[in-house]
Chains A and B, each alone.
Chain A
Amino acid sequence: MNRQDLTALLDCLPDEWIESAAEPKAHKRIAFRFRAFWIAACFAVLIAAAVYPRLRTDPPERIETSVSSQETTIPPRTEPATSDTTAQTESVTSLPETEHAADTAVTVPVSETSTVSAEITQTHTTARDTSESSQPTAATTATISMTAVLTAETIRTEERASTAFSETTVQSTLSETSFTVSYWSEAVPEQDTAPSNTLAYSQFSLSAAVYTEAVPDLPYFPKQPEIDTAEFDAVLITATFPCASAFIRSGTLQPDGGLLLFVSGQPPFTPEIRSTRHFLIAVPKLCHVDGARVTAIFEMETTEEQYRRAESEPLTFSGYISTD
């Protein structure tokens, strides 16, 4: 097409187009830095909206320690040789967990080399007797102290029963704990002023776990008005003394704060029947939880003669440990 034709063609352009093109809108280019700024701002908002709520809602990761590692951190308990005399003092804390079945009677001789052997006979629960002894001193007019530590591990039986035994087994296990404890003499410092007929003091402690069990309705165990069952748990102990004249002189209870009561009244008391006594320990509920260990330390006065006789007649305890 020649120029004249093109010119004639362009003359046909409408006035509106020529008018519109006369003042074209200035299409200002937006600088790249401004566009980049807004793009970055949009990305920041999107990321904040998408990621931040997840960060807020996700729970923090927990560092879980495996069971095996926990087990390895606990040193395994070892069963001390029950016939070994060196395992007398600390056997309380190193008791076996599985070796003794709860429903089998176990007789564990302890401290065979002691002057007075200690022996625990447990009918339904696992029991251990740890004895500390020293060489008996020659019989003098001085007082003679005897110490016997008895640990009835009904708590262990209870733990085991909760995991492995049936409910029936547990009840039968907790029905009664009877044991026999022997006592022995300790070296006692001489007392110059002591008379010849001074009574010997026998100290023994009774440690037993308290668990829920109704106190049997025994005729010789009348309800004690001193014991408020809302505040105290009752531990009934039947003691067989080797001599009729022996009596419990005093006693303390561990943990502190416990109340030691006796069925027959305030100590000292004399057994009504030779070699058999019943006494009651009232343990404040706040001192323990169910299955906690209670230790009562008694002091018994005997004469030297009674003590010597007691060597051949071990002191026997049978107890009901109960709470209501």
Chain B
Amino acid sequence: MCKTEDQDIILLFEQRDEQALAETSSRFGTLARAIAKNITGSTEDSEECLNDALLTAWNAIPPTKPQNLRAYFLRLVHNAAVNLLEHNSARKRGSGQFTDALDELADCLPSRGGVEQTIEQRELTAAIMAYLGTLPKKQRDLFVRRYWYADSVSKLAALFGMTENSVKVTLSRIRTRMQEHLRKEGLL
């Protein structure tokens, strides 16, 4: 990734140049559509998510000046897709990879309600981040691609040069160790 190009795009946003939207869509559009489609399960919804993310970025920059433009824009797309998925779920529409991925991950994480949830949520997040920080880069990338990018197992296998079974086994081991880690931390 060329940081100078990202800075140029940010500069265009700050100058309120609409070319910034075209450049952002040109550079991150493909990946952003893939994430949105993985979450929403629809090509049309992914385009909608991309447009929502571009609009959010146009409104946020300035005053926001992201350090990592790609991660920032993909996060906008991810949130837009999640919001759209929740909206569609309320309307009984759509179900993509993201739902399946969240179901996998939800099985190994505690579910608490009440006042203490907010307090323990921070501790839980910190523990998970600490655990993911100990993973090798390949396993961490695999985790992020599966549960944040919502990529399918077959796509991950092709992307990481692994078999689908190997991808499943690796993800299962990551979750099991994460459970053990949270159990050690007293969060399970």
Contacts and interface: CB of A to CB of B under 8 A. Distances in A.
A9 interface: yes
Given A18-B144, A22-B31, A24-B145, A11 B109 contact: no
B74 interface: yes
Contacts of A27: 138, 160-162
Given A3-B86, A20-B141, 13 more contacts: A1-B105, A3-B102, A3-B106, A5-B109, A6-B106, A6-B109, A7-B102, A11-B78, A12-B125, A12-B129, A15-B75, A18-B144, A24-B141
A50 interface: no
Contact of A15 (B72, B82, B138): B72
A9 B121 contact: yes
Contacts of A13: 129, 132, 144, 148
A17 B109 contact: no
A196 to B, nearest CB: 129
Interface of A: 1-29
Contacts of A1: 105-106, 109-111
A172 B129 CA distance: 111
25 contacts: A1-B106, A1-B111, A2-B106, A2-B111, A3-B99, A3-B102, A9-B109, A10-B147, A13-B148, A15-B67, A15-B71, A15-B72, A17-B144, A18-B144, A19-B71, A21-B148, A22-B31, A24-B141, A24-B160, A25-B138, A26-B159, A27-B138, A27-B160, A27-B161, A29-B162
Interface of B: 1, 31, 67-68, 70-72, 74-75, 78-79, 82, 86, 99, 102, 105-106, 109-111, 117, 121, 124-125, 128-129, 132, 137-138, 140-142, 144-145, 147-149, 159-162
Contacts of A7: 82, 102
Nearest to A14: B129
B30 to A, nearest CB: 11
B162 A6 contact: no
Consensus secondary structure, chain A interface: helix
B132 A17 contact: yes
A14 B74 CA distance: 12
B68 A21 contact: no
Nearest to A18: B71
B121 A5 contact: yes
Given A1-B109, A3-B106, A7-B82, A18 B148 contact: yes
Nearest to A7: B82
Contacts of A2: 106, 111
Nearest to B126: A12
Which one of A11, A24, A25, A29 has the greatest number of beta carbons of chain B within 10 Å? A24
Given A9-B124, A11-B79, A27-B161, A19 B106 contact: no
A250 B31 CA distance: 127
Which one of A12, A14, A17, A21 has the greatest number of beta carbons of chain B within 10 Å? A21
Given A17-B132, A22-B70, A27-B160, A8 B121 contact: yes
Contacts of A16: 68, 71
Contacts of B74: 18, 22
Contacts of A25: 138
Contacts of B1: 19, 23
A21 B111 contact: no
A72 B70 CA distance: 99
A28 to B, nearest CB: 5
Given A1-B106, A6-B109, A27-B162, A21 B82 contact: no
A29 B1 CA distance: 25
A19 B147 CA distance: 14
B71 A6 contact: no
Contacts of B31: 22
B71 A24 contact: no
Contacts of B162: 27, 29
Contacts of A28: 161
A17 B159 contact: no
Question: Which 7 A-B pairs have CB atoms at the shortest separation, nearest pair first?
Answer: A15-B71, A27-B161, A21-B144, A1-B109, A21-B141, A15-B68, A18-B71
Contacts of A6: 102, 105-106, 109
A4 B85 CA distance: 11
A302 to B, nearest CB: 119
A10 B106 CA distance: 12
Contacts of A15: 67-68, 71-72, 75
